Amino acid sequence: MNMMPSLGMGTFRLEGDDAYNAVSMALETGFRHIDTAQIYGNEAEVGQAIADSGIARNELFLTTKVWLENLGEDAFIPSVEESLRKLQVEAVDLLLIHWPEVSGKVAMDTYLPQLAEAQRRGLTRFIGVSNFTNAQLDQAIEILGEGSILTNQVEVHPYLQNRRVIEHCQSRNIQVTGYMPLAVGKVMKDDVLQRIAERHEVSVAEVVLAWQLQQGLVTIPSSTKRVNLETNLNALRLELNDDDMADIASLEQGERIANPDFAPQWD
């Protein structure tokens, strides 16, 4: 598989058997893009679900992310090798820097060359970043070179539409991957989204995912229920009209869910 499928399965907050079962169901349902991270503590379960699925490795797109404490030169490559052991693969398809290091402990021009080194060693096919601001992304491109960064993975949902970041990434020819697309379930109770879903005779989740896909984004919803995984996949076939898109655009509230104390100064 050469490029990242536009709809993936996120595994944030899934642990132990929940992670294993959710990934197994996602693969059975038809998902071929799985997203995890070192800090999620579920790489072993994700890897086992993939191994047990019997799906050929080249049919899957697998992403993991290097955690902040592994960004130093001594820890970076060993941490990636550890992730690969847990995932039971020789390489991931995409390796991301999970968060930009803003404390000053490790400079970007130290850890980004390590990311490129992981790619050079064949530990990952593509490299990218996550939670980078526009200025940080520009700095990363300067360090790594044009065309080296596949994606910037950022929070995107109807209440945090992140348009400035999306436009900037697209202007730099970098794919945006939206995480937390369903705003941790908040979208399900939204009157505007419910009306759009009723008009199309689909679920609210399908509407929100289709909204992201129609903007050219990759999106990685998470679910532990088979029925939800199946309806999420249906978003690939849903076409929203201009009125639908405008109605969803009006829901912007700048409401950020993932905002830890080590986050950068957001755009």
Residues labelled as active-site residues:
40
98 annotated ligand binder:
yes
**Contacts (Cβ under 8 Å, ≥6 apart) of 213:** 6, 7, 219, 235, 236
Q: How many CB atoms lie within 10 A of CB 45?
A: 25
Q: Is 10 left (phi over 0), alpha (psi -120 to 50) or beta?
A: beta
Residue 33 CA to residue 13 CA, distance in Å, equals: 17
The half-sphere exposure of 69 on its side-chain side, counting CA atoms within 13 A, is 2
Residue 203 CA to residue 185 CA, distance in Å, equals: 12
Residue 170 CA to residue 178 CA, distance in Å, equals: 13
Residue 109 CA to residue 118 CA, distance in Å, equals: 15
Residue 2 CA to residue 33 CA, distance in Å, equals: 12
List the binding residues: 98
List the binding residues for substrate: 98
